[in-house]
Amino acid sequence: MALARPIRALIVVSIFLWCFFLYQIFGSSSQIRLPERFGHETDPILDPTGEPEGTLMYPSDEYKPGIPNSARINATILALVRNEELHGMLQSMRDLERTWNHKFNYPWTFFNDVPFTEEFKEKTSALTNAETRYELIPKEHWDMPSWINNDLYEESVKTLKKNKIQYADKLSYHSMCRWNSGMFYKHPALENVRYYWRVEPDVHFFCDIDYDIFRYMQDNNKTYGFTITLYDAPKSIPTLWPETIKFLAQHPEYLHKNNALDWLSDSLRRPEHNKQANGYSTCHFWSNFEIADMNFWRSKPYEDYFNHLDRAGGFFYERWGDAPVHSIALGLFEDKSKIHWFRDIGYQHIPFFNCPNSPKCRGCVTGKFTDGESWLHREDCRPNWFKYVGMD
């Protein structure tokens, strides 16, 4: 009997400790339950009826701003902007901070080919609690490269203007397209950064986003995110696709097995575009909005592709934009399942919209694509993306 009491006491203590252990695992720890509540199969998007599809991943209450070592992804918001575009940049910042970044405080990194003014720095930094960085683009990343023939460039500009290609005579626009295509991610300020969200002046964001966009990209193994796809002006890129085919002939190993070549080469919906662009549908992701993993741009296939295009001279002799260059590379060299349509992000860059059917959106008309002339509806290439790739 004397031995029974200690044994009973030991049993009671063991049961208590076991119950306490189970409570710690299943009772109070939201982190343990996170995979069940926010699993990778749950996509933070809205279905066509406007009803939520699953639970939003990583709502803001899972994120603890201001606490050291809180879960923030290696990422930045990126803007190429001039000092004189300050007013438009402030507009874009207000919208994105209000709808998303005030919950997550990702840093803003601003780039310019001339130094930023103190006014620009003061007014932009005042709009966010996040860090703001102001970077100067090296001249060798911005200036016309040495292998471009200036006389040929001048003659090419005349041809582009004759074909009514916008910005054809603006050297800075050609430089910008080249920089956005293959130079920005080489800047020392981004050397150790992986993801970025590109934001331009005078854009609008309409919908409250309650999850960490960059964490979604990382956890779901996404390379690129877009909101709008358009058709490009075929006369601005007549040799881009032939140069791409030439590159593929030299490097057939770079073509991904799960590519989006059908989307890039479609000739049914806009046959005149395919013909004038020599085999390219001209469909592209509208890159004034893009969320991307810079490891793709840093990869050997993309670097080799960009260098091939750069030497061909089409950024200056024609008006190759970063949008078709990025889109073609993604469509050929990346698994198309890693390209994501952010249909829950309400966005406008004049004159086009991505306006979701969601109670989280204010200030845009559901489903509206453009507030311009009716013919602009033909420029929407999203139906072709859904046809060949799907809605993710």
Which positions ≥6 away from 231 have C-beta within 8 Å?
Answer: 270, 273, 281, 282, 283, 284, 378, 379, 381
| Residue 354 φ/ψ, nearest 5 degrees | -125, 105
Residue type present at position 335: D
**Which residue in the list 62, 85, 97, 290 is annotated as catalytic?**
290
Q: What per-residue string of b and e applies to 282-291 under the rule 16 or more CB within 10 Å gives b?
A: bbbbbbbbbb
Cβ pair 106, 72 in contact under 8 A: yes
Q: In what order do the strands lie in the sheet with 347-349?
A: 204-205, 347-349, 352-354
Q: 290 an active-site residue?
A: yes
**By C-alpha distance, which of 225, 227, 224, 222 is closest to 203?**
227
Q: In what order do the strands lie in the sheet with 108-112?
A: 132-136, 108-112, 75-80, 195-198, 290-293, 224-226, 339-341
Catalytic residue numbers?
290
